[in-house]
Amino acid sequence: MTVGFLGPCGINLPHTHPRATEINFSVDGDFQVGFYQENGATFIMNEVHKNQVAVFPRGAIHFEQNLNCTPVTFVAAFNSEDPGVLTISNAFFGFLPATVVGAALGDLNISTINDIKLQLAKNPAIGIAECRQRCNL
């Protein structure tokens, strides 16, 4: 288990747990969750309210984001002692060869890929601009 804290407008960046399913319980607030399990599947998005849970299947790309101006706390439980975590943007841009990433994104050049690497957010991130503006952040 782990406890997560999302500040106003904060986002737990898209990531996956390759060795565990996650059950995410909202302790004290509302936040949005989304996940995508595999190619061809439907993207699922929900709002989790205080004392509700969301379930993310093992290996599914998922995120949690606080679209409110007050912090939220959640508890994540896993069905493995070692669920692992892979943040999608960091893995894609940070560890795959730039030539492969460029080809996957429509033949972007290496310079563009390297520029993107420098802009990658740290987790948890500050969230979307609309929320930050609404909350005066």
Query: pLDDT (tens digit, 9 = 90+) per residue, 81-94?
Result: 999 999 999 999 98
Q: Would you state the pLDDT for residue 87?
A: 96
**Residue tagged 């909350």 (tokens):** 135
- For residue range 8-32, list pLDDT tens digits in order: 999 999 999 999 999 999 999 999 9
- CA–CA separation, 2 vs 124, rounded Å? 14
Domain ranges of the chain: 2-86+125-134
Single pTM value for the model: 0.93
> Would you state the pLDDT for residue 121?
92
Interval 46-60: pLDDT, tens: 999 999 999 999 999
Q: How far is CA 125 from the centre of its chain?
A: 9
- pLDDT score of 26: 98
pLDDT reported for residue 78: 98
| Residue 117 Cα distances to 18, 31, 64, angstroms | 23, 28, 22
DSSP sequence for the chain: -EEEEE-TT-EEEEEE-TT--EEEEESSS-EEEEEE-STTSPPEEEEE-TT-EEEE-TT-EEEEE--SSS-EEEEEEESSS----EEHHHHHHHHS-HHHHHHHTTS--HHHHHHHHHHPPPSSB---HHHHHHTT-
Could you report the per-residue pLDDT of 117-132, keeping only the tens digit for each? 999 998 999 999 999 9
Vertex 127: Cα angle to 112 and 49 (nearest 5): 145
CA atoms within 13 A on the CB side of 48: 28
The phi-psi region of residue 63 (left if phi > 0; otherwise alpha if psi is between -120 and 50; otherwise beta) is beta
Predicted pLDDT of residue 44: 97
Q: Which fold has domain 2-86+125-134?
A: Jelly Rolls (2.60.120)
